[in-house]
Chain A
């Protein structure tokens, strides 16, 4: 049975006077999915999140939310003069939780900030404030979690903790939507990616976007010069390139084809040192999507640069 989406946004458009901030954006969010919303500054990511959270109404289009929403705003948004505990307690009551004190204690424990609960929010570091804000976001156990720049300004350790939390949310079957500029973070956690610049430029899994823009390749490193073994592979694959001891093979399905490649090379007497998928970084995918001009392509994932001076073996007709 197909999984019912936790959130459905249909043709969302938001205008601010004459300016169109978000234009005809449609997306679905499934339980247990981590969905990343990417885009340059001013692309409409935060506006989209605010519409999804119900903070602002779309000029047109609709949002169908099937569950409780937790929204982490870009700024922690804590009341500085109140203690950490008091901040959370107010939200626990605003959400109408049955046992607010217990919910707050659990949230404090979950984010390991129980020792600072009597401190005023103003006294906390940025990382701790973000933790408190995350605790506030998850206080009422939302089914859908919207995170606007959750690791912005955090040190690597805190950012890692936040990523671990996001992954835990997925394992708890909660739907997570992250708006971020941190492509490394997206690479690590996101199941699907949408690139936004007022309207949706692309929406798919990172692997599918890569394959669409750059194709899929696998790199096979050998113990000896690779050129003699290229001929073995050229019988089956159209695009085989060599660079000293490395073979690069264009594939339509990396997972299915790779074992056969390794087998063929070993049978031909090659000593295979390593086999890795040759994936373009998500950053290059993102940049290509935003600017598909040749200049962008050269700056991006350029095989000619990687295999500088290499012999290019094209498939025989």
Chain B
């Protein structure tokens, strides 16, 4: 157990000093947060055309106006809620992208850096090695969706536009 903890500590220290492994997760998270604001708010604002007036969203509007979470919203707010909900699904990919990038380095990286052999020459067991690696690498990946959701919530609270974005995004998260 102590050997696993030693390896886990090393993994976390290694990750802390290697922010590059978080880039895929950050990019995915950033896209899932920024894109709905662009599509639902910035584009209508600058083009002067409301989402509710677009024929592309007519069917979605009909569906969403019947949903409990969006029933009280005006048409523009309901479509904004739809867009935000769709992009929130993208947040699910954030841990996947993060996990893929860090997991790829986990053992293969050790092998490439030629740090695996000295490690294997210690009394560490295969289970301890893999457990330490998995725990060390899963921590940053699993922490990214809550962080992304929190960022979405904070961003939506600060965005002073019509359409009850804050309320909708909060409900969507629930």
Q: Which of A54, A69, A77, A95 is the one whose CB lies under 8 Å from B115?
A: A77
* C-alpha spacing A50/B13, complex, angstroms: 28
Given the contacts A90-B7, A90-B9, A93-B6, A81 and B18 also touching, CB distance less than 8 Å: yes
Instruction: Indicate if B121 sits at the interface (CB-CB under 8 A).
Output: yes
Q: Is the CB of B10 within 8 A of A54?
A: no
**Size range of the chain B interface in the assembly:** 20 to 34
Closest to B117 in A: A73
Min CB distance A124 to B, Å, is 14
Mark out the residues of chain A between 29 and 67 whose CB falls within 8 Å of any chain B CB in the assembled complex.
50, 53-55
Residues of chain A contacted by B18 (CB below 8 angstroms): 81
* C-alpha spacing A91/B124, complex, angstroms: 10
Given the contacts A73-B114, A90-B7, A81 and B121 also touching, CB distance less than 8 Å: no
Q: Is the CB of A81 within 8 A of B14?
A: yes
Q: Is the CB of A75 within 8 A of B6?
A: no
Q: Is the CB of A77 within 8 A of B113?
A: yes
Q: Residues 122-137 of chain B: 1 if any A CB is under 8 Å from the residue's CB, otherwise 0?
A: 1110000000000000
Residues of chain A contacted by B14 (CB below 8 angstroms): 79, 81-82
Interface residues of A (CB under 8 A from B): 50, 53-55, 69-71, 73-82, 86, 90-91, 93-96, 120, 133, 136
Extra contacts besides A94-B122, A96-B3 (17): CB < 8 Å: A50-B117, A53-B121, A55-B120, A55-B121, A70-B121, A71-B117, A76-B114, A77-B115, A77-B116, A77-B118, A78-B115, A80-B113, A90-B9, A94-B119, A94-B123, A94-B124, A95-B122
A-B CB contact pairs (8 Å), 30 listed:
A55-B117, A55-B120, A55-B121, A70-B121, A71-B118, A71-B121, A73-B114, A73-B117, A73-B118, A73-B121, A74-B114, A76-B114, A77-B113, A77-B114, A77-B119, A78-B115, A79-B14, A82-B14, A82-B17, A86-B10, A86-B13, A90-B7, A91-B118, A91-B122, A93-B2, A93-B3, A93-B9, A95-B123, A96-B2, A96-B3
